Structure formats: C-alpha cells, structure tokens
Amino acid sequence: MRIELFYIPGSQKCANARGGLRAAAEEVNPGVIWRELDALDEIDYAVEIGVTTLPAIAIDREVAFSSLPTPRQLREALRRRATGTG
Amino acid sequence: MPLTIGKIANLAQVSADTLRYYERERLIAPAAKSAGGYRLYERDALRRIRFIKQAQQCGFTLTEIRALLALRGNGAACCRDIRRVALEKKLQLEAKIKAMKVMSKALTHLINECSADGRPLDDCPILASLERANGLKRTGR
C-alpha cells in the first residue's frame, strides 16, 4: 500500500500533522510506503490522480481525503480498505 | 473627491453594468450616494476593482474572489493562506486543462473519421459516433 500526502509548502498545520498521520498509517500497515509530496513540485502528478484541494491524502493513487484527516480517521480508512469495506 | 460610477468604471476599464453586477455579488459597494441617488466611490475602490478583474483573469470565480477579498481584509491571515488558495486554483485549472485535452483528442479522432465528402447526414461518421456514444451511456445506466 502506498500513501501520499500532498502538502502545502510552508504550512505549519501540515507539518504538525504529518508525524501523527504517518505513525497511524504504519500502525495499521507496517509495510506501508509513505510519501510526502510538495503539491507545487508534484503538480502534474497531483492533477493526474485528481487532487484539487490541499492538503490531500491519496491511498494507492486514489484521493482518500481532500483535507487533513485525524490519525484516527486515517486508521479507520486504512482498516476499511484492508477488509474491503471502504 | 468621490468618483461617480461612470468615472470609476472608465478608470478601471470596466462597464458601469459590471460594477453594478459586482455590487449585487457583494464584491464592492459605493462609499455613499449623492443627493440625487447616484453611487459615489472612494478612490481605493479602484484598487479593489482591479484586484477583482485580475483575479478573474487568473480563473477565480466571483465567489472565490469574495473569499480572497475577505482573506485580504483578515488581519489574522497571512501570505501563506493566499498561496494555498492560489495553489488549489492552479490544481483545478490544470485538471480542467487535462479534461479539455481529452475532449480535444476525442474530437480529433472524430474529425479524422470523417472524409468531409458530400455524403448525406445519415452517413456522417461524426454524428453516428456521437449517437453511438449516447446509446452506450443510456445502456450503461
């Protein structure tokens, strides 16, 4: 599984949330590939997978959150995906 | 000295109707009305009108411009907040460009299918293809 967080460069809110979200993702899926992408540097890729608001989180190249989730929300989304109920 | 709608419209290179429309959209408001009921604007309204025009040229809708103006007047906001809005707009514009490129490619394909001869419309490959596409959509529901 690959999780990509598209962040706004310079956003303190994004910077503060990243650690907790990454920990939540690794807790549910220890082998997860976690990437943090500067939305401006990766604009073509962001557009390709349908990111239109920031910050956003994509799971396996699919936009799962169009604003920052809480670690709990991310954990739940990952669990739903793992069991095929989401 | 206050400016009439005609004068400020002329300076901003927009029509008076545009200014009335902006007013209905709560983007600008006259500073006062004259005894005769004419709208009067302060000179700084010109800066605001130019801001609106420029933002429109960057693809912002009037609703988004209203939010931008509110952000501009918010003492707690900073440059980073505006940058986020601009970045999101760019993402949306790029997504539209991508969708339009797909449409253009589909049209190229249709145009290439047509030999542009004098065949009757019943044999027109472009119309036939569009009708086929509609049919597919209908059965897909």
Lowest mean pLDDT among A38-52, B43-57, B104-118: B104-118
Place of tokens 């027109």: B124
Please list every residue in chain A whose beta carbon sits closer than 8 Å to the beta carbon of residue B80: 8, 10-11
Cα dihedral value A22, A24, A28, A29, nearest 10 = 0
pLDDT at A8: 85
The per-residue pLDDT of chain B, averaged, comes to 90
pLDDT at A86: 54
Taking only residues 17 to 36 of chain A, the set having a beta carbon closer than 8 angstroms to any beta carbon of chain B reads none
Of chain B, the end-to-end C-alpha distance in Å amounts to 63
ipTM: 0.74
Q: Which domains, and CATH codes, for chain A?
A: 2-83 (3.40.30.10)
pLDDT at B139: 45
pLDDT at B141: 38
Please list every residue in chain A whose beta carbon sits closer than 8 Å to the beta carbon of residue B88: 52-54
Smallest CA–CA distance from A38 into chain B, residue: B87
CB–CB contact A44 B80 (8 Å): no
Mean pLDDT for the stretch of residues A52-81: 94
Residue type for position A17:
A
Of A39, A44, A50, the CB nearest to B87: A39
Residue B137 has pLDDT above 70, yes or no: no
The model's confidence at residue B140, banded by pLDDT at 50, 70 and 90, is very low
Of A8, A40, A47, the CB nearest to B98: A47
Residue A49 neighbours by CB distance under 10 Å: 15
Which helix (H) or strand (E) segment is B45 a member of? helix B44-57
Whether residue A10 lies within 8 A of chain B, CB to CB, comes out as yes
- Smallest Cα distance from B67 to chain A, Å: 15
Residue B12 has pLDDT above 80, yes or no: yes
The model's confidence at residue A83, banded by pLDDT at 50, 70 and 90, is confident
pLDDT at B75: 83
Mean pLDDT for the stretch of residues B18-41: 95
Cα gap A34→A40, rounded to integer Å:
18
SS3 content of chain A, % helix, strand, coil (to 5): 45, 25, 35
Residue type for position B127:
L
pLDDT at B134: 64
